[in-house]
Structure 1
Amino acid sequence: MTTVAFDDLPGLAGTSLGVSEWLDVTQARIDLFADATDDHQWIHVDPERARSGPFGGPIAHGYLTLALVIPLWTNLFDVPDVTTKVNYGLNRVRFPAPVPAGARIRLSGTLVSVEQIGGGGAQITADVVVEIENGTKPACVAQPVFRFYR
């Protein structure tokens, strides 16, 4: 984990943050996400039917993979002397490969830019990649934008 003080953020543009710990993407997690979002497409929640589908088994929702960027990010990067951390948005996101149920994923990231913003805050843009253990393509490539305030 990379831990830095708020005042040190401006000099970190271009810094690689390494990789997070692995996170399990279980069928139970996929089912909970389906319930939370009311997206019960069979490719995600019906393991028996999904075995004969295009991926040979159930896969995580793309938006579940994207949502898991947050816990993976907090495992990768921390600014402990801020009071508020806000997900400001995404500049881009793609899902090159599906995450099979039962797979493990982790996040790597690089800080692209750090800008001062009003209210005494900093806006951080990062390039992140969600890797699937033993996968040949990433599950997700994205450019999230975060805002940190003291």
Structure 2
Amino acid sequence: MDSLLGSGLTSPAALSEIARHFADRRGGRRARRVFDLADPAAQSPPESHLRVRLVLAGLPRPVVQHPARLPSGLLLHPDLAWPEFRVAVEYDGHWHTDPDQLHRDRRRLNQLVAAGWIVLHVTSRRLTDDFPGVVREVHAVLAQRGWRR
């Protein structure tokens, strides 16, 4: 859904109409939930997967690619963010092992941390093998910053 919305192949209004039309049919409620979780700003399927799983685990819905303006004026866009708590989650797929990409990632991390953000990183392995641990970490940081369920 994220890719379809992001590429303009469908719209939130079209998805709402489909959900309304099929509301009383088998799978109608599930379709509504899937459509409600979709976000056109997502930049990759693993980021979408991470976001949806965090929300389904009971965490508040993050902002995708939130524009975080730093004191220097620099504008960064963390993958997932809870701006009111200054918490971000970055998804690190396999391409993040490239030395140049790692250099850019760490520079961004340092800039966000210096601006008062807590930034957690989730690798593809953790998303697959240790998702409960990821949820605990995100939950703990959000709670530390004032989020209450």
**TM-score interval for Structure 1 and Structure 2 normalised by the shorter chain:** under 0.3
Structure with bigger RCO (C-alpha 8 Å, 6+ apart)? 1
* TM-score, normalisation: structure 2: 0.24
Determine which structure has the larger strand proportion and give its number. 1
Determine which structure has the larger helix proportion and give its number. 2
